[in-house]
């Protein structure tokens, strides 16, 4: 007995659509993608944004880089190929969450421009919001809350973004947060100013 082949796998179109789920939830679904160096503040801001959206009654979920590495992507390393596969899986998961009518907030270094373009293609450009959490390398190293930069400088972490591996800054993100000068509260406010109007359903809905 075999498991069949790709030609045997057919996408099932459910009668309960994303639009119907959005109407039930009272808001549109979007995937908000936070990219930036380690220590820039991506996860902190994503979780703080989720807290505010949750208080307003939005259905939300945060995909955090470290958390995902414990489960869904626990079998992957940090080679360029594994990093791309890590993001591909998250993109596919975020797409499912959008289809479920949920606002997903993804906090990943996602250093390569091509990999972020792949995620945008998977999710769909109309549902994808890219936020560049910009912070100078020197400030990220000063924070170094996990001791990662210290280990990278000591040669203990090969291919560490910003030290021994490159980071491609986004060309045209929807929003840039300069977190060396903005407080978390200011950053959250700017994110909400951007995304809340995009989550509003049309009056006829």
Provide the 8-state DSSP code for 56: T
What does the block give as tokens for 63?
């995909």
Q: Which helix (H) or strand (E) holds 149?
A: helix 148-153
| 110 among known catalytic residues | yes
Rg of the Cα atoms in the chain? 18
Angstrom distance (rounded) from CA 128 to CA 29: 10
Write down the catalytic residue from 38, 43, 104, 110. Answer: 110
Q: Which helix (H) or strand (E) holds 34?
A: strand 31-35
Is residue 79 within 8 Å of 124, Cβ to Cβ?
no
Q: Which helix (H) or strand (E) holds 84?
A: helix 80-99
Angstrom distance (rounded) from CA 164 to CA 132: 21
Catalytic residues: 110
């Amino acid at each position: 007995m075999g498991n069949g082949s790709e030609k045997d796998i057919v996408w099932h179109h459910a009668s309960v659509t994303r639009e119907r789920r959005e109407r039930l939830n009272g808001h549109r679904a979007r995937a908000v993608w936070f990219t930036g160096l380690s220590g820039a503040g991506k996860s902190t801001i994503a979780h703080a944004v989720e807290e505010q959206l949750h208080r307003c009654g939005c259905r939300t979920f945060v995909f955090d880089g470290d958390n995902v590495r414990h489960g869904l992507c626990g079998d992957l390393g940090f080679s360029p190929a594994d990093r791309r596969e890590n993001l591909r899986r998250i993109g596919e998961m975020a797409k499912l969450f959008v289809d479920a009518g949920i606002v997903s907030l993804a906090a990943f270094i996602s250093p390569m421009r091509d990999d972020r373009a792949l995620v945008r293609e998977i999710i769909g450009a109309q549902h994808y919001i890219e936020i560049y959490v910009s912070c100078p390398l020197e400030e990220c190293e000063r924070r170094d809350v996990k001791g990662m930069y210290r280990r990278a400088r000591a040669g203990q972490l090969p291919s560490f973004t910003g030290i021994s591996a490159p980071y491609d800054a986004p060309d045209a993100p929807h929003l840039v947060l300069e977190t060396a000068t903005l407080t978390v509260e200011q950053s959250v406010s700017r994110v909400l100013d951007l995304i809340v109007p995009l989550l509003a359903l049309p009056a006829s809905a």
